[in-house]
Chains A and B, each alone.
Chain A
Amino acid sequence: MMIETRGLHRHFRLPGGEVPAVDGIDLEIRHGEFVAIMGPSGSGKSTLLYVLGAMDSPTAGWISVAGQRLDRMTDHQRSRFRNTTLGFVFQSFHLLPRLNLVRNVELPLLYAGSPGAVRRARAGRLLGAVGLPEHAERFPTELSGGQAQRVAIARALVNRPQVLLADEPTGNLDSRTGLEVMAIFQALNRGGMTVLMVTHDEHMARHAGRILRLRDGRLVGDETVDRPVQAALPAGFDLAGLDLEAGGTAAGAGSPGGPDGRADGRGDGWAAPDGPAPVPGKGGLPGEGTPAEDRGSGDRPGDGTRAGDGTRAGDRPPGEHVGTGPRQGGGRTEGGRS
């Protein structure tokens, strides 16, 4: 299980009394799921996301992310955990305006203690992979919203996280660029990334494989999306270029160090689609992106960069794994971690 909570509470002490923003949530999210969290404002969805993202600690309850008990961590441990295991994407991008794009993207690596040259190389590579190869020395103010969010995604992925957390990632974008972000999330998810996204946009939520609904801090709905809407990847986006496999650093950015123990958390290898993105132009309408079509790109034997074990992300129908796919990596993740 990638994320698991039991009786999770987050109460805020306000002058008017205690407000239960998260009021007893039991949750299980498997490795490799793409989950949307929905709910009216004040329902506690963002609070839940930040508690799951180790930014906030629960007032009561049990919480485990990637095999780590967050509720028992010190502030310093949570910082390390955010740095090594999680990636954040925000509604208003939150790029630091005084830093150029390379310096923005390398920020997590800075706190991970990577040497400067390695940071620069990796950040530059990720900027290229999200389709902004010429923008390294530019500043955030020179970007459009869609570009800024892609830079923010690059920043979230630069230290090869296991879970991507997004707080209204399309809230400040027009619908076209919003869909581009959804496509990127779907591509990452197909590659094995666990994605958690808070949104209030039903259409965006339909791109996920599972939708959780919150009201007054309680879970009121847990819906599996049978056929997620498929979005078209933006031009220039290169999933393989993100080089997200933990072991791939040596070959990729030239950084020292091999497998750092995170590889065992991911049962399946990253199916680097070396062809065009899986379903460009086809996923615009609900139901049109069928599992069969999806399979096309990742299924070729021997095309992966590393030894495939037959459970590549591309193998699975986008909706199938949610709650119903026992062969999915979740079981292995637990086995590897605990």
Chain B
Amino acid sequence: MNLWEQLSTGAHGLADHPFRTFLTMLGIVFGVAAVIAMVSIGAGAEREALEELKRFGANSIRVTARPVEGERLKEVVKKLARGLSVADAAFLRANCPFLEAVVAEKVTAEKVYAFGRKPLATVVGVDGGFLSVSRLEVAAGRFLTASESAEAAQVAVLGAGVASEVFGAGVGAAGNGAGGAEDACGQVIQVGRHRYRVVGVMREQTKGRGKLAIKSRDHDRDVYVPLPAAQRLIFPWPLEDKDEYHEVSGLWIAVREGYDLPAVRDTVMRLLKRRHREVDDLEALVPLEILQQSQKTQQLFNLVMALIAGISLLVGGIGIMNIMLASVNERTREIGVRRAMGAARRDIVVQFLAESSLISLIGGALGILVGIGLSLGIAAYTGWTTVIPASAVLVAFTVSLTVGIVFGLFPAIQAAKLDPVIALRYE
């Protein structure tokens, strides 16, 4: 009796109770669907993390100035402490061979006016070298040159969001809007009380979904100006304003390859703290570390999901076993007849295994479809990235077949172990 005949015999057995078979199948359908959905979320998170890493760079450290205010400000001023400064950046550049680049930025509260509009924008003063360290790209025109930075020239580069708000939608968007962005170049906008010429527009940033714990401002809303120009914008100077303790608001640091990022961060922070007279006024952030942290969280999440999917498959398998035991029981006489006609124990085992495998295989196939639907639904509803790898489909199929065989084995063996004479007389 070949496999095909066994399967067709099994199909006959299942067709006797279509509704019961369907209900049993549902257990496997949901189990497999859960596996598929779980894997797709995990794979999606993985892909997102890789993209995020690409965005921030695997070798970057961000140092951010922490506001110092009130009584504490008075205290630190007494110590003659100065906040984060251009000099700090220069010091690091000069003394730390393991750093590839150190770029300072000054985030100001200045307002931007252009063509009668007041776009939502953050005026940021940056050093030369910002472009490469930040991994941002220019869509049209050019970025600030080193000489412009040094001379505090009154030129600006607009973030894509600001440019499109002022000069029309689509500016700075990847692939199109070059014309609009070109239009923006050469125009004059007002920053605070000064007039700046626009020399370039940034490319729209690929947005993270906010699922990862890296905080960053929306760079599409940035307006970049030379750092000295930004410092000049701030007037009068200095005040006992919390903003003015720090000369610059942050450093973008790129570390050379082969150095341990957390160790470099600790060194940099120690150096800076010493220069700041042991005032604790900075914080440092390593995107890679945060990503690794979030990946650990994701792994835990995946584990829990796998557990849930596994439990639902287990429940599905128990359902199969339950139904197969009932089936063996109600077909005791059939087993006796088949045995009398010459069916060996093995034939009976295979017959019932064929039935349970059919349930789980068909259930598995349906489950894969439901799982794909579920994964698309999750992506649409939560905005998470979900990816269904081909391997997941293969694994789900294998797992469901295994469940069918494993949970069908016990009832099948029970059936084969029946005494043929007693089975024949069973009423």
Contacts and interface: CB of A to CB of B under 8 A. Distances in A.
- Judged by DSSP, the binding face of A is helix
Nearest to B6: A110
A76 B345 contact: yes
Interface in B334-380: 334, 336-347
A79 B343 CA distance: 6
B1 interface: yes
B424 interface: yes
Nearest to A161: B342
Contacts of A112: 342
Interface string B299-341: 0000000000000000000000000000000000110111111
A159 B1 CA distance: 15
B421 interface: yes
Size bin of chain B's contact surface: 20 to 34
Contact of B421 (A50, A99, A107): A50
B343 A111 contact: yes
B421 A82 contact: no
B1 A107 contact: no
Contacts of B424: 55, 90, 94
Given A55-B420, A94-B424, A82 B342 contact: yes
Contacts of A110: 1, 5
A50 B423 CA distance: 13
Contacts of A107: 337-338, 341
A79 B12 contact: no
B379 to A, nearest CB: 45
Contacts of B260: none
Contacts of B337: 94, 96, 107
Contacts of B13: 98
Contacts of A96: 334, 337
A229 B311 CA distance: 68
B213 to A, nearest CB: 61
A75 B344 contact: yes
A83 B16 contact: no
A80 B342 contact: yes
A290 B339 CA distance: 40
Q: Which of B333, B336, B340, B424 has the most CB of A within 10 A?
A: B340
Nearest to B338: A107
Contacts of A159: 342
Interface string B396-419: 000000000000000000000001
A79 B339 contact: yes
A334 interface: no
Contacts of B345: 75-76, 79
A56 interface: yes
Nearest to B422: A56
B344 A79 contact: yes
Given A94-B333, A96-B334, A113-B1, A88 B341 contact: yes
B344 A98 contact: no
Contacts of B343: 79, 83, 111
Contacts of A83: 341-343
Nearest to B337: A94
Q: Which of A75, A83, A84, A110 has the most CB of B within 10 A?
A: A110
A159 B344 CA distance: 16
Contacts of A266: none
Contacts of B421: 50, 55-56
Interface in A53-99: 53, 55-56, 75-76, 79-80, 82-84, 88, 90, 94, 96, 98-99
Interface in A265-311: none
A113 B420 CA distance: 21
A111 B347 CA distance: 8
B332 to A, nearest CB: 12
Interface string A154-173: 01000100000000000000
Nearest to B16: A98
A331 interface: no
A116 interface: yes
Nearest to B9: A110
A311 to B, nearest CB: 30
B12 A55 contact: no
A88 B424 CA distance: 12
A79 B333 contact: no
A108 interface: yes
A80 B344 contact: yes
B414 to A, nearest CB: 15
A50 B401 CA distance: 38
A311 B346 CA distance: 42
Interface of B: 1, 5, 12-13, 16, 333-334, 336-347, 419-421, 424
7 contacts: A55-B340, A55-B421, A79-B339, A79-B343, A88-B340, A107-B341, A111-B1
